[in-house]
């Protein structure tokens, strides 16, 4: 077990397993216009994480504690905000990723990181992307035994499953 070639190749941390801050959520709930708010993440009716957020003058102050490797880190990050004109009037807010400085709607904090950054900077993917080739080896083995192509076999299974 655990020898050469074992394990999931190409598996990366996912957006779904990370804490996500959405600028659209913060704007809708009045966080960007000033004042201090505490926000929480919940899973199965249990609070998993909490963050203090203060929006003021084109910036957002994030204050949170993160435990990494058994060590507690008290983090205070400043995230710049940018606005663009909205199609039907008003303004649309965006985060500026603290690392790459690109305009983003969401910032993420995966398990092994200390700072909220964009999906690309954390090299995060989506669960569906990690699972897209999940049964490829099985289809290749069955196809080899049946004399069909793996692609044709997969298409046949999709037709059967879709009814």
What would the pLDDT profile of 134-157 be if each residue is shown by its tens digit? Answer: 667 777 777 787 787 877 777 777
- How does pLDDT run across 91-118, given as a tens digit for each residue? 999 999 999 999 999 999 998 899 999 9
pTM over 0.75: no
DSSP alpha helix (H) spans, 89-134: 127-131
What percent of the chain lies above the pLDDT cut of 90? 45
Which residues have CB under 8 Å from 18's CB, separation 6+? 108, 109, 110, 111, 122, 124
Highest mean predicted confidence (pLDDT) among 10-19, 28-37, 72-81, 138-147: 72-81
Closest by CA position to 121, among listed 102, 138, 134, 135: 102
- Which residue do the tokens 């200390």 mark? 114
Whether 127 shows a pLDDT value over 60: the answer reads yes
Sequential DSSP letters for 8-74: -TT---BSTTSEEEEHHHHHHTT-TTSSEEEEEEEETTEEEEEEEEEEETTEEEEEEEEEETTEEEE
- Judged by average pLDDT, the poorest of 28-42, 50-64, 73-87 is 28-42
Whether 1 shows a pLDDT value over 50: the answer reads no
Which residues have CB under 8 Å from 152's CB, separation 6+? 143
Contact 64, 48 (CB under 8 A): no
How high is the mean pLDDT of the chain?
85
CA 108 to chain centre: 5
């Amino acid at each position: 077990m655990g020898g050469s070639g074992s394990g999931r190749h190409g598996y990366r941390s996912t957006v779904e397993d990370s804490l996500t801050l959405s600028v659209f959520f913060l704007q809708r709930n009045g966080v960007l216009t000033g004042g201090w708010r505490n926000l929480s993440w919940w899973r199965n009716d249990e609070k998993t994480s909490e963050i203090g957020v203060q929006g003021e003058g084109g910036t957002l102050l994030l204050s949170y504690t993160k435990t990494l490797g058994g060590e507690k880190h008290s983090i205070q990050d400043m995230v710049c905000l940018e606005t663009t004109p909205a199609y039907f009037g008003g303004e649309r807010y965006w985060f500026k990723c603290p690392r790459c400085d690109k305009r983003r709607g969401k910032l993420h904090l995966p398990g092994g990181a200390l700072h909220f950054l964009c999906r690309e900077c954390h090299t995060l993917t989506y669960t569906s992307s990690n699972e897209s080739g999940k049964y490829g080896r099985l289809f290749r083995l069955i196809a080899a035994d049946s004399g069909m192509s793996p692609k044709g076999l997969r298409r046949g299974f999709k037709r059967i499953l879709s009814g």
